[in-house]
Chains A and B, each alone.
Chain A
Amino acid sequence: MKANFTTIALILLLSSFINAQITSEPPAKPQTNIEDALKYQRTVNSMPGKYPGKVIQVDNDNSVLESKIIYNEVYEMISKGMLALTGTTSLKEAWRQFVSPSERIGLKVNPVAGAQLSTSVEVTQAIVKQLEELGVPRNNIIIWDRREEQLFEAGFNSENFPDIKIIGTERPENGSMYDSNGKLYSLKMIDTSWYYWADVEGKYDSATIPYMVNEGKYSYFTKIVTEMVDKIINVPILKNAGASVTLCLKNLSYGSVTNTGRLHQKLWAETTAEVCAFPPLRDKVVLNIVDGIKGCFNGGPGANPQFFCEYKTILIGTDPVAVDRISYDIVIKERIKRGVQKEDSPRGRIFMELAQNLNLGIADIDKIFLMKIN
């Protein structure tokens, strides 16, 4: 009798275990070293910056004419946005709140989808012009991203930006990614003292490694952010990534570290938020200017022309989370209008909630102050 009871108990236990396995929640997320980031004292420049939760949206129907972005219009849009953000009447004064002429300023653009769907040359030129008007010398300005070749393809070259340094972490020298010892030149560009660790192994073949720089569980920060710039102005393009967006936080996080291939599948949202919590980004990004003149509502982050659209807008704020949240609504609204999505899914906003929990900005839409200007 006792044996039978034990047998039944074991069967019940086993059955409940199997049941638990079957109905179990998705597997736990891999560990990361986010706790390391949180140990560093915040500074006056730390995200979300001078204007937490404040977003300026400047719309202008004349910003595109026959598919061409009109430089003068976008220059004006950025001017209006800067004045509205800072509440000043002088453009120089507005810019001076964030940068000074003696600082080395990095413009983090997004060039990954070619000339048709990257941060535009015109918006970037308008920012450069306003920095110059403040007195920032051109040789104190750096336009950067991970992949130097893609910067050139998207129009960030010496012809469009004379005397401005254009540089990527992944870069060749003398036409080759490798030196005579078979070592990647890009290794010189990474700072191994700053890293994002995640318990996901990156392993790449020889064709892929030049784009990832290193394998393993560490993603190292580029020296561009740790050494080469004092302040960063983040200039992403307004586009979707599936049913979410790839904007301020994503542009910074995935654009600043190596070995990202391993992070996409299991830690997309976590990486997007957590990498921005490390001081080289958290304490240097002073402004986010979303290039929403042209963008896409589907097919992103790749470039699929039938999903391109003209949003004819620019969004500005110091708070990358709040800017992402407002921009997210613009993209989702367009997706619903065009019929690619029926309703908003909270999943698309997870990365912003994670960032809010890390005190990088405000994701709660009710707490964001949006000012729209025409």
Chain B
Amino acid sequence: MHKKIFLLLVIFSIVINSQDKIIPFLSSSDFPDIKIIREESFDGDALWGYINGGADIFLEYGFDNLFLQEIELKNHVFKIELYKMINPNSAFGIYSVSHFKCDNKSDKINLTCITPYQIQCAAGDYYISIININGSEEEQKLSLIIFEKVFAKLVYKEIELPELFKQKDLVSEIEKIKYIKGSLGLQNGMIEWLDQFEGLNGFEIFLLPLEMNRAVINIAQINFFSEKEMKIYMQRMKININNNEPYIKVEMNGLSRIVNIISATRAIVFEASTSITDLENSVKGFL
């Protein structure tokens, strides 16, 4: 009996380990006519070696390694970048601040953004980017085939969003949610909030800018890594967390905010450049 349990544990450990060590490079078994132009992987800070300052945002979000391949297929060149981040939030975060106006999305795979020159995707710990050179119809078609091959090699766990964004009216807006962590995340995802978080390092923001009643309302859950950081933020934003009301209403610098304190380190913030009454009416279903 013990032997069987031991054997099962060994097998389980091998399976877990092999998931950790996925090498998702494409080869001739995927495409018989593939030509590998470049194949490299970069671990940790070595990402600076590949993209210099461009590495900073990946490192800020939490980067594990990059599998890079440049391949030639049917006389077209493609660059495949598979960033393994430290967790699904980090991968989703990079995806969320790196995609913009998507022309299309995969009908089979969630969190994909397809533009003529690039396919981007967040899948569990992975952020995928496939770039072609000319953006031609043929290259776009081949990019999609390459993407599906790479994707099929991955073993991953879906991102777990905060409860707020699982609500009926918000769950379908996942593509618009930004996950922000750190100063570069703010610079790329919500520059207007940079001052609010100046000097704070321990925070993460799930942010959904949503048009409601002809106004854009920023709906955010902010998780601080310590009570002290949350206090600094609340003081800056003139939010009295000792207020006994179910939620706090603040107007400052032409913006209205409604804040729902969930715990000593977490808060939900609604922000809009409307009156506080209009904001309250728009978001009362989420309060």
Complex CA gap A207/B52 in Å reads: 14
Complex CA gap A299/B58 in Å reads: 12
Which residues on the B side are within 8 Å of A100 (C-beta)?
none
* A207 and B101 within 8 A (CB): no
**How many B residues touch A, CB cutoff 8 Å?**
41
One of B100, B188, B195, B232 near A22 (C-beta < 8 A): B232
The stretch of B7-15, B38-46, B147-155, B277-285 in contact with A is: B38-46
Interface of A, secondary structure class, is: loop
Q: Tell me whether A261 and B45 are in contact in the complex, defined as CB-CB below 8 angstroms, given that A112-B52, A345-B191 are known contacts.
A: yes
Interface of B, secondary structure class, is: helix
Complex CA gap A211/B100 in Å reads: 31
Complex CA gap A338/B195 in Å reads: 23
Per-residue contact bits, chain B 146-176, to A (CB 8 Å; 1 contact, 0 not)? 0000000000000000000000000000000
* B48 and A306 within 8 A (CB): no
Q: Tell me whether A207 and B43 are in contact in the complex, defined as CB-CB below 8 angstroms, given that A23-B232, A301-B53 are known contacts.
A: yes
The verdict on A341 contacting chain B, using a C-beta distance below 8 Å, is: yes
Per-residue contact bits, chain A 82-108, to B (CB 8 Å; 1 contact, 0 not)? 000000000000000000000000000
Q: Tell me whether A305 and B118 are in contact in the complex, defined as CB-CB below 8 angstroms, given that A207-B43, A345-B191 are known contacts.
A: yes
* A298 and B199 within 8 A (CB): no
One of B118, B135, B199 near A304 (C-beta < 8 A): B118
The verdict on A328 contacting chain B, using a C-beta distance below 8 Å, is: no
Nearest-neighbour CB distance to chain A for B272, whole angstroms, equals 13
Q: Tell me whether A22 and B231 are in contact in the complex, defined as CB-CB below 8 angstroms, given that A298-B188, A340-B100 are known contacts.
A: yes
| Tier of interface size on chain A | 35 or more
**A206 (CB) vs chain B CBs: closest residue:** B46
Task: Tell me the residues in window 177-208 of chain B with beta carbons closer than 8 Å to chain A beta carbons.
Answer: 184, 187-188, 191-192, 194-195, 198-199
The verdict on B72 contacting chain A, using a C-beta distance below 8 Å, is: no
Complex CA gap A186/B2 in Å reads: 57
Which residues on the A side are within 8 Å of B27 (C-beta)?
none
The 9 closest A-B pairs by CB, nearest first: A302-B54, A26-B199, A242-B187, A305-B117, A211-B49, A207-B46, A208-B45, A243-B191, A112-B52
B binding-site residues for A, Cβ under 8 Å: 42-46, 48-49, 51-54, 56-57, 79, 98-101, 113, 115, 117-118, 129, 131, 133-135, 184, 187-188, 191-192, 194-195, 198-199, 228, 231-232, 235-236
A binding-site residues for B, Cβ under 8 Å: 22-23, 25-27, 67, 112-114, 116, 146-147, 204-205, 207-208, 210-212, 241-244, 246, 254, 260-261, 264-265, 298-308, 338, 340-343, 345, 347
Given A212-B48, A347-B194, 5 extra CB contacts under 8 A: A22-B228, A23-B235, A114-B79, A211-B48, A302-B51
